[in-house]
Structure 1
Amino acid sequence: MAKIVSVEVLQVNLKPKVKRTDAVQSFELQETPMVRITDADGVTGTGYSYTIGTGGSSICKLIDDHLAPVLIGQEAEGIEALWRSLFYRIHALTVGAVSTLALATIDTALWDLHARKAGLPLHRIAGGAKSTIQLYSTEGGWLHMDESELVEEALKAKEQGFGGGKLKVGRPHVAEDVRRIGAVRDKVGPAWEIMTDANQGFTLEEAIRRARQFEELDVAWFEEPIHADDIGAHRRLAASTSLPIAVGESMYSLAQFKDYLASGACSVVQTDVARIGGITPWLKVAHLAEAFNVPVCPHFLMELHLGLCCAVPNSRWLEYIPQLDLVTRSTIRIENGQAIPSEAPGLGIDWDWDALQQHIVHRQTHGSAPALADTPS
């Protein structure tokens, strides 16, 4: 096995192409921490995570000061050992978003390096369970949109072959949410899935109230209805409604998912590879959910989650939100609403290094990395 000889830490800032709002926040800026790990054989793996506007510099600082230096000289193929050693190195900071996003940036780079050296795409080296995954669109359902916009975007997504679309909920009164969902349901018909997402915006009482109203509209799931820390409230909500309860994007450890699943507090798992700490723990969450016969429908990061969804048997939906098209040479392949993973070795992301150069706001090298433009795609 080849040892790690260099680690390069970058921050790349990307502006969203469309306005994105939900019940509690706006997506202002995608700060994208990146890591490029090169081993003694000269092979480089690239990994990344993200924020929605703040904290990117803190993640990069944590990697630069406490994680990247200890990677030098370590065996690059020892991914599980490296993840655990890095986790315990910053154990006093866990569990939380900054630490897991930092770990994910490194872990995804190690998996990219591992897959490249093996000559295999991520979806095959991580499991190879399926060749496609069904897409649903989130880009046409933001909370600021009026009913006519929601209907127009839903019909467009349906025509493009998407199997469903997500609508943000959390307007001041339940009647407003019902009217918005109903307007879309009337136009798309009964066979097209409508996912709803509250972004943790409700109390238990309000979540129960809205779920009862949403049931009549046959929504596919009710996502993050209550703050993610409150497992008991989610359990009570799940027991009160026929709607599937979806959680995961705001959970940062395998243990949190274990507690939710064991207590019957959710029926859809939306683990986010960046927020859970990388591919290594993401696969553990997915297989844990499989043991409970619960589907995995990951949050965001569609370019990276595509390979992971096709690696495991219990994936059901991939969320369509383009995020890397400013800095990649190609987008994901879509046929009849199904996303098809790349067969190229690695994560399957075709980075455009010339374009990426224009968005870098931080760069630090540990060891001696090759020039950015020299990195193979």
Structure 2
Amino acid sequence: MARITHAHAFMVDLVPKVERTDAIQSFKSQETIFVELTDADGARGIGYSYTIGDGGPSVLALLKHTLLPRLMGQDADGIEAIWRDLLFCSHATAVGPIMALAQAAIDTALWDMRGIKTGLPLHLLAGGAKAAVPMYTTEGGWLHIAPEALVEDALAACAQGFRGSKVKIGKPTVAGDAARLGAVREALGDDYEIMTDANQSMTAAEAIRRVPMLEALNIGWFEEPLPADDIAGHARLQATSRVPVAVGESLYSPGQFADYIAQDACGIVQADVARVGGITPWLKIAHMAEAHNMAICPHFLMELHVSLVCAVPNAPWLEFIPQLDDVAAPMARDGGMALAPTRAGLGIDWDHDKLASLTTEGSAFEIKGA
């Protein structure tokens, strides 16, 4: 038994290299919260979570004042016990994004430490279903991008081996969305997958109006059409549509996914490892989906999710949005296939000098056990 003796936390602000807009917001920056843990044997693990521009200091405050002090002295191998203990020690802040993001930074660090101590990469440690996964790209599909540029990006992605693109929707009219999607379908043909994402921007009526158009264009999925708390609306929409409804990036617990699945309110789940509280709950959600013969196609964080989608059998896609290239070695790829890291632990090769130089002033702190 090796107990946790030390934690080092800090935040790095990573600004996107391209403009990222959807129907409700712009991606200003990735406030990336890091936690590095050390146990009594000297083993270390580094984990992280993120926001898209706001809330990072709140996550750090919860870690500093509540979660990391409680972590000191706990058995690093008891990942499930730690996850539940941290959830209930501050249950007044759960279920929700700040708590989930803070837990995720700790949980991913513990899984990294376990992998390093056992010598196993995460995709094998968590299941080992496959060694590679197809990617679709979102980087060329943001809402401000004109149809001709959408086509140009999709053609370039296809030439690189990508098998699909995500196109943001939520223009003021159905015709506006149809023009963008139709241009890509006409240029790429029927074998290229096109996903859509409305980012919770629509009423149920507006979403239902778009279903015939999405069906006619053979769209792969209709992502986050309605506000995430409108389970009943999603259920009505799913019942009317042959295009699967995809939800999950704005859900924060396995229980919330269970509610969607129980009410037939989605066809694809998109759990985000940071937003659900880490690898421990992500795997539960993935296997819950598997038990219901559903796919899990996670949101964002490709450098971490690549290992998780390769760990489970029901994860057919990885979303390509590069964001860590300034602070880590690029994710391994073979054309349009993402390769599961073979490095022990999370498999992310961090540039620690870059992390140190980009650490937000005043964000770093340490917690030491007795």
Q: Which TM bucket (shorter chain)?
A: over 0.9
What is the DSSP-based 3-state SS (H/G/I as helix, E as strand, rest coil) of the residue aligned with 1:234?
helix
In the aligned structure 1, how far is the partner of 2:359 from the partner of 2:111?
Answer: 23
What is the DSSP-based 3-state SS (H/G/I as helix, E as strand, rest coil) of the residue aligned with 2:255?
helix
Task: Name the residue aligned to 1:336.
Answer: 335
How far 1:307 moved relative to its partner?
0.4
Task: Name the residue aligned to 1:352.
Answer: 351
Deviation string 1:54-84 (CA, Å, 9 cap, x unpaired) is 0000000100000001111111000000000
How far 1:357 moved relative to its partner?
1.4
Task: Name the residue aligned to 1:366.
Answer: 367
In the aligned structure 2, how far is the partner of 1:160 from the partner of 1:219?
Answer: 21
> Pairwise CA RMSD of aligned residues?
0.8
Task: Name the residue aligned to 2:133.
Answer: 133
Give the counterpart letter for 2:220 in structure 1. A
In the aligned structure 1, how far is the partner of 2:200 from the partner of 2:259?
Answer: 18
In the aligned structure 1, how far is the partner of 2:6 from the partner of 2:55?
Answer: 24
Structure 1: 5+ residue runs without aligned partners?
369-377
In the aligned structure 2, how far is the partner of 1:129 from the partner of 1:341?
Answer: 11
Deviation string 1:247-275 (CA, Å, 9 cap, x unpaired) is 00000011111111111111111000000
Give the counterpart letter for 2:191 in structure 1. A
In the aligned structure 1, how far is the partner of 2:15 from the partner of 2:210?
Answer: 33
Deviation string 1:316-345 (CA, Å, 9 cap, x unpaired) is 1000000110001x2111113111111110
In the aligned structure 2, how far is the partner of 1:44 from the partner of 1:18?
Answer: 34
1:52 aligns with 2:38: no
In the aligned structure 2, how far is the partner of 1:56 from the partner of 1:2?
Answer: 30
Query: Matches of residues 239-250 of structure 1 in structure 2 within 5 Å?
Result: 239-250=239-250
Deviation string 1:194-245 (CA, Å, 9 cap, x unpaired) is 0000000000000000122111111000000001101110000011111111
What is the DSSP-based 3-state SS (H/G/I as helix, E as strand, rest coil) of the residue aligned with 2:80?
helix
Task: Name the residue aligned to 1:78.
Answer: 78
How far 1:101 moved relative to its partner?
0.4
How far 1:155 moved relative to its partner?
0.4
In the aligned structure 1, how far is the partner of 2:258 from the partner of 2:167?
Answer: 28
How far 1:176 moved relative to its partner?
0.4
In the aligned structure 1, how far is the partner of 2:13 from the partner of 2:317?
Answer: 27
Task: Name the residue aligned to 1:372.
Answer: none
Task: Name the residue aligned to 2:36.
Answer: 36
What is the DSSP-based 3-state SS (H/G/I as helix, E as strand, rest coil) of the residue aligned with 1:358?
helix
How far 1:173 moved relative to its partner?
0.7
Runs (4+) of structure 1 exceeding 4 A deviation are none
What is the DSSP-based 3-state SS (H/G/I as helix, E as strand, rest coil) of the residue aligned with 1:276?
coil
Give the counterpart letter for 1:349 in structure 2. I
Task: Name the residue aligned to 2:161.
Answer: 161
Give the counterpart letter for 2:129 in structure 1. A
Aligned residues: 367
Task: Name the residue aligned to 1:121.
Answer: 121
In the aligned structure 1, how far is the partner of 2:41 from the partner of 2:16?
Answer: 37
Task: Name the residue aligned to 1:147.
Answer: 147
In the aligned structure 1, how far is the partner of 2:294 from the partner of 2:326?
Answer: 34
> TM-score, length-normalised on structure 2?
0.98
What is the DSSP-based 3-state SS (H/G/I as helix, E as strand, rest coil) of the residue aligned with 1:246?
strand
Identical positions, percent: 56
Give the counterpart letter for 2:318 in structure 1. L
In the aligned structure 2, how far is the partner of 1:12 from the partner of 1:335?
Answer: 29
What is the DSSP-based 3-state SS (H/G/I as helix, E as strand, rest coil) of the residue aligned with 1:38?
strand
